[in-house]
């Protein structure tokens, strides 16, 4: 317990500060160094995220025609925005300057708002991810009716996730990452499936309209899609039997066969039991049979029930979903790990809380946790408070204390509430609205309020 | 007559050494890059090895890989030598190593240039190899039940789809080959019997192509059979119709692909070659200028550096003569003394 820390922190009991830890000079130095390294790693991770976003975007653009809308592009757009977050550099320098007492003060005004923003965005992020999973069931329902207006909810949520990641994606480091649960990702499947169904259905319907502007490339798109992903039709090759995929321009209407087929159909469509060539499987030992698939007599040594492999067996919807699922899984793992770095390893905080508040050890986390397990936000906060404490000491190289929040959580929230109310009243009450000059502490912006104790604090705070 | 004599005051020597050290590291990276390029080319050639008759073209990537590895070593030593060059006490220990070092370095640098030249010169070789390989591939297309050939069909199909080509020279190659296996032909049918009889070798030839020749960009559903029969399809004239199959041959497509790849790699390797040569030249100049300093009291004196002590021809003869004498002593039958690669003195 250092003399200057209590003088510095104001007239309230020290034990009320949230997660107070001791910081001798060596530990401060190490914290700053580790933080600097983490900042640079975060820059790399940001670049990586950007590349992932670009990759996902190009893949989606390639298949744009079989997706009914372009809302899903939000995901890669976000990743691309997230990537090159310019403020990382600031924080790298901030971490470096923190140990230089001459240069540190210039970061002070920058750090406190940053903490507020970062913590706010972190909570937004978590809630956004939760919401996006929760709304899947609702989406599936609405999509069955093929009305896509409600699908906007999901990409908007994803946009929020991305914005949060922009704010908090400033550091990256090693992740205590057991918490990434691969079992959560299959739930994305139900989210992607309906999107593709609509696009593919249209693609097959308009396959023959190569002379209609706006649809003239459907044929090529579907053909290339089926060849590349090795799939046929929407659910399987029989989808082609239900659609007229041969244009009337190539049908001889004077021929008896054509006239019979058209008459036998209610809508006057020319339906064949055949598929386009792009369904053919090159791995089949037999030259491709694409017409008269249900007619055993049309081909020698052919039984359509037992014949296998000549066409691709799986549907393109399934193929597309598997393809993008794989990609999203990888990207999702990366993004979630970055999120985790912000929040830190929950186990570490669990230990801290237990040891400090349950078993009553005063040292708390200092024994059990290593620096990288504490989140970057928290370590930045510790560094800032520790250095500020050290600067106020007579001997700057002595031991100081660092903490997360000056008061405990409940009091900080109360202060925040007062600040917000003060801000809201600012327009009405002219003078005495010191809320405008509030300096943030942790997640809350504790403000100078009109109360006496707060005013005393406010008098001391500008001295930081 | 000395080749490329230059004066080197102390400061210039120092700067030369520093520049050379930096260059040698760049050249090391470039050497690694050459090795990587060689690996890439080799991988690409092996992917389509089934439609190539011989592996002579693999000489190009093999050479690139050897040169890449060698240049790693050469440039590493260049860096070490130049580090020691400015220190008169440590420099002499390199004396004996230098001559063979230069010999090896020049040899591998020349080999690099040779690899680039080869990549352009072997186009004909590649084309001939592809011609034979594709011919066989098309011939054995139907033999999906013959061990050793059962994957020809898949290979050719995927090749035609990936490279958007059909047949060897063009799609008509498929008309001359029976590509539908007898297992799928109904020999009791009249039509089949007629076709087989009309042919000298008893082959079932059709004027059709496999599905992998179909062009997805065509607006019309693919017409692959009875291509020369106008009445078989509605609104179809095979002479004027823009066929909805690929028209270009796979040989041409593959040659273009590989030549493009080798051209790109060749340009990269040429720049690595320039870099490597400049490293060697600078090292030689540094070495000769430092040799003049050895034994002098004042290390900062101005010296002269040169590339070759005698003219190029004399230096070459200096190295070739012992080889000639060696060969003539052994009375080689042809009496031809093929000079070994000229070694820089």
Distance from CA of A96 to the nearest CA of B (A): 30
* Helix extents (H) in chain B: 10-47, 59-85, 95-121, 123-139, 152-163, 190-197, 250-291, 312-329
Segment A46-72 shows an average pLDDT of 66
Segment A412-420 shows an average pLDDT of 84
Burial B45-62 (b: 16+ CB within 10 A, else e): beebebbbeeeebeebbe
Segment A4-29 shows an average pLDDT of 60
Distance CA B68, CA B269 (A): 10
CA closest to B185 among chain A residues? A300
* pLDDT at residue A460, rounded to an integer: 42
Q: Above 80 in pLDDT, residue A405?
A: no
Q: Return the residue matching tokens 């917000």.
A: A420
Selected residues 271-290 of chain B with any CB under 8 Å from a CB in chain A: none
In this prediction, residue A341 has a pLDDT band, given cuts at 50, 70 and 90, of low
Selected residues 100-139 of chain A with any CB under 8 Å from a CB in chain B: none
Asked if A232 and A311 touch (Cβ cutoff 8 Å), the reply is yes
* pLDDT at residue A104, rounded to an integer: 58
Q: Above 50 in pLDDT, residue A170?
A: no
* pLDDT at residue A430, rounded to an integer: 47
More confident residue, A203 or A356: A203
> Measured between beta carbons, which residues in chain A are less than 8 angstroms from residue B219?
210-211, 216, 219, 247
Query: B214, A277: Cβ pair inside 8 Å?
Result: yes
More confident residue, A456 or B151: B151
Q: Above 50 in pLDDT, residue A142?
A: no
Segment A36-64 shows an average pLDDT of 68
Distance CA A288, CA A227 (A): 14
Asked if B276 and B71 touch (Cβ cutoff 8 Å), the reply is yes
Nearest to B70 by CA among B45, B116, B103: B103
First and final CA of chain B: distance in angstroms?
Answer: 14
Nearest to A126 by CA among A420, A346, A394, A402: A346
**SS3 call for A159:** helix
Strand partners, B303: B8
In this prediction, residue A115 has a pLDDT band, given cuts at 50, 70 and 90, of low
* pLDDT at residue A70, rounded to an integer: 57
Angle between helices B59-85 and B95-121 (to 10 degrees): 150
pLDDT tens, position by position, A71-102: 556 556 655 655 554 345 455 555 556 556 56
The DSSP result for A272-315, as a single string, is: -S---GGGB-TTSSS----SSTT-TTTSTT--TTT--SSB--S-
Distance CA A157, CA B317 (A): 79
Q: Return the residue matching tokens 């400015």.
A: B86
B83 C-beta neighbours (distance < 10 Å), count: 15
Query: A227, B235: Cβ pair inside 8 Å?
Result: no
Distance CA A402, CA A413 (A): 20
* pLDDT at residue A86, rounded to an integer: 39
* pLDDT at residue B142, rounded to an integer: 92
The answer to whether residue A272 neighbours chain B at the CB level (below 8 Å) is: no
CA closest to B181 among chain A residues? A286
In this prediction, residue A215 has a pLDDT band, given cuts at 50, 70 and 90, of confident
The answer to whether residue B212 neighbours chain A at the CB level (below 8 Å) is: yes
> Measured between beta carbons, which residues in chain B are less than 8 angstroms from residue A250?
220-221, 233-235
Query: B161, A283: Cβ pair inside 8 Å?
Result: no
More confident residue, A359 or B19: B19
Size of interface A-B (CB pairs under 8 A): 72
Pick among B206, B215, B216 to test the A interface (most A CBs inside 10 A): B216
Q: Above 80 in pLDDT, residue A69?
A: no
- Among A255, A290, A300, whose Cβ lies nearest the Cβ of B186? A300
* pLDDT at residue A47, rounded to an integer: 66
Weakly modelled stretches of chain B, pLDDT under 50: 335-345
Q: What is the mean pLDDT of chain A?
A: 65
Query: B216, A220: Cβ pair inside 8 Å?
Result: yes
The answer to whether residue B78 neighbours chain A at the CB level (below 8 Å) is: no
Q: Above 90 in pLDDT, residue A356?
A: no
> Measured between beta carbons, which residues in chain A are less than 8 angstroms from residue B226?
none
The answer to whether residue A307 neighbours chain B at the CB level (below 8 Å) is: no
Query: B179, A287: Cβ pair inside 8 Å?
Result: yes
The answer to whether residue A215 neighbours chain B at the CB level (below 8 Å) is: no
More confident residue, A72 or A144: A72
* pLDDT at residue A454, rounded to an integer: 39
- Among A216, A224, A300, whose Cβ lies nearest the Cβ of B184? A300
> Measured between beta carbons, which residues in chain B are less than 8 angstroms from residue A288?
210-211
Distance CA A105, CA A91 (A): 14
pLDDT tens, position by position, A316-326: 988 888 888 78
Distance from CA of B37 to the nearest CA of A (A): 23
> Measured between beta carbons, which residues in chain A are less than 8 angstroms from residue B186?
300-301
Tokens describing residue B30: 């470039």
Query: Which DSSP category does A354 fall into?
Result: I
Q: Above 50 in pLDDT, residue A229?
A: yes
* pLDDT at residue A128, rounded to an integer: 46
Asked if B215 and B244 touch (Cβ cutoff 8 Å), the reply is yes
* pLDDT at residue A464, rounded to an integer: 39
Query: B214, A300: Cβ pair inside 8 Å?
Result: no
- Among A219, A278, A287, whose Cβ lies nearest the Cβ of B180? A287
pLDDT-above-90 percentage for chain A: 8
> Measured between beta carbons, which residues in chain A are less than 8 angstroms from residue B183?
286, 301
* pLDDT at residue B288, rounded to an integer: 85
Query: B220, A247: Cβ pair inside 8 Å?
Result: yes
Distance from CA of B256 to the nearest CA of A (A): 23
Segment A5-21 shows an average pLDDT of 52
């Amino acid at each position: 317990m250092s003399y200057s820390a209590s003088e510095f922190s104001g007239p309230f009991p020290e034990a009320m500060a949230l997660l107070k830890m001791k910081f001798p000079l060596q530990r401060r130095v190490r914290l700053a160094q580790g933080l600097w390294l983490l900042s640079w790693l975060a820059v790399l991770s940001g670049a990586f995220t950007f590349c992932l976003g670009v990759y996902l975007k190009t893949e989606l653009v390639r298949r744009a025609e079989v997706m009914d809308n372009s809302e899903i592009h939000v995901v890669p757009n976000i990743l691309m925005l997230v990537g090159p977050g310019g403020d990382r550099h600031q924080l790298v320098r901030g971490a470096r300057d923190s140990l230089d007492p001459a240069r540190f003060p210039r970061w002070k005004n920058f750090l406190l708002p940053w903490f507020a923003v970062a913590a706010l965005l972190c909570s937004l992020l978590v809630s956004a991810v939760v919401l996006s999973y929760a709304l899947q069931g609702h989406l599936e329902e609405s999509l069955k009716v093929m009305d896509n207006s409600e699908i906007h909810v999901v990409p908007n949520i994803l946009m929020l996730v991305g914005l949060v990641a922009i704010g908090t994606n400033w550091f990256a480091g090693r992740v205590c990452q057991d918490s990434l649960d691969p079992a959560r990702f299959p739930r994305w499947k139900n989210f992607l499936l309906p999107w593709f169904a609509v696009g593919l259905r249209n693609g097959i319907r308009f396959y023959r309209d190569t002379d209609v502007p706006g649809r003239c490339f459907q044929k090529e798109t579907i053909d290339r899609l089926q060849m590349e992903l090795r799939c046929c039709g929407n659910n399987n090759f029989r989808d082609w039997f239900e659609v007229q995929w041969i244009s009337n321009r190539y049908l001889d209407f004077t021929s008896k066969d054509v006239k019979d087929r058209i008459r036998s159909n209610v809508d006057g469509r020319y339906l064949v039991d055949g598929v386009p060539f792009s369904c053919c499987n090159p791995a089949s030992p037999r030259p491709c049979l694409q017409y008269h698939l249900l007619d055993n007599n049309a081909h020698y040594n052919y039984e359509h029930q037992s014949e296998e492999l000549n066409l691709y067996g799986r549907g393109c919807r399934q193929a597309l979903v598997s393809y993008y699922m794989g990609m999203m899984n990888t990207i999702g793992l990366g993004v979630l790990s970055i999120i985790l770095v912000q929040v830190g390893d929950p186990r570490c905080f669990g230990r801290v809380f237990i040891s400090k508040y349950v078993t009553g050890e005063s040292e708390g986390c200092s024994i059990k946790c290593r620096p990288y397990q504490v989140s970057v936000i928290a370590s930045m906060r510790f560094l800032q408070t520790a250095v500020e404490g050290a600067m106020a000491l007579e001997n700057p190289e002595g031991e100081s204390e660092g903490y997360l929040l000056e008061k405990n959580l409940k009091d900080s929230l109360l202060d925040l509430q007062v600040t917000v109310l003060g801000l809201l009243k600012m327009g009405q009450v002219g003078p005495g609205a010191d809320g405008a000059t509030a300096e943030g502490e942790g997640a809350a912006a504790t403000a100078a309020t009109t109360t006496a104790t707060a005013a005393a604090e406010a008098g001391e705070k500008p001295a930081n | 007559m000395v080749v490329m004599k230059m004066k080197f005051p102390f400061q210039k020597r120092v700067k030369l050494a520093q520049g050379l050290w930096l260059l040698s590291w760049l050249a090391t990276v470039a050497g690694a890059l050459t090795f990587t390029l060689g690996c890439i080319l080799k991988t690409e050639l092996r992917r389509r090895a089934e439609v190539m008759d011989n592996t002579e073209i693999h000489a190009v990537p093999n050479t690139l890989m050897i040169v890449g590895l060698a240049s790693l070593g050469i440039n590493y030593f260049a860096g070490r030598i130049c580090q020691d060059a400015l220190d008169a006490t440590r420099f002499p220990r390199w004396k004996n190593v230098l001559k063979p070092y230069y010999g090896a370095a020049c040899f591998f640098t020349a080999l690099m240039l040779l690899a680039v030249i080869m990549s352009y010169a072997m186009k004909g070789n590649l084309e001939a190899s592809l011609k034979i390989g594709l011919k066989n591939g098309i011939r054995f297309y139907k033999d999906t039940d013959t061990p050793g050939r059962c994957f020809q069909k898949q290979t050719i199909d995927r090749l035609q789809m990936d490279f958007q080509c059909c047949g060897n020279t063009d799609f008509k190659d498929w008309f001359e080959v029976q590509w539908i296996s007898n297992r799928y032909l109904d020999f009791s049918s009249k039509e089949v019997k007629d076709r087989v009889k009309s042919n000298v070798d008893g082959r079932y030839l059709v004027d059709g192509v496999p599905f992998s020749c179909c062009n997805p960009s065509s607006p019309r559903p693919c017409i692959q059979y009875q291509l020369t029969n106008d009445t078989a399809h509605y609104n179809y004239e095979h002479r004027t119709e823009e066929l909805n199959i690929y028209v270009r041959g796979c040989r041409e497509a593959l040659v273009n692909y590989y030549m493009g790849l080798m051209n790109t790699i060749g340009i990269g390797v040429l720049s690595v070659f320039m870099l490597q040569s400049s490293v060697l030249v600078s090292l030689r100049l540094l070495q000769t200028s430092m040799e003049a300093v050895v034994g002098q009291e004042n290390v900062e004196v101005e010296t002269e550096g040169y590339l070759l002590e005698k003219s190029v021809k004399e230096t070459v003869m200096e190295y070739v003569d012992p080889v000639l004498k060696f060969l003539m002593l052994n009375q080689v039958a042809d009496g031809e003394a093929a000079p070994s690669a000229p070694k820089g003195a």
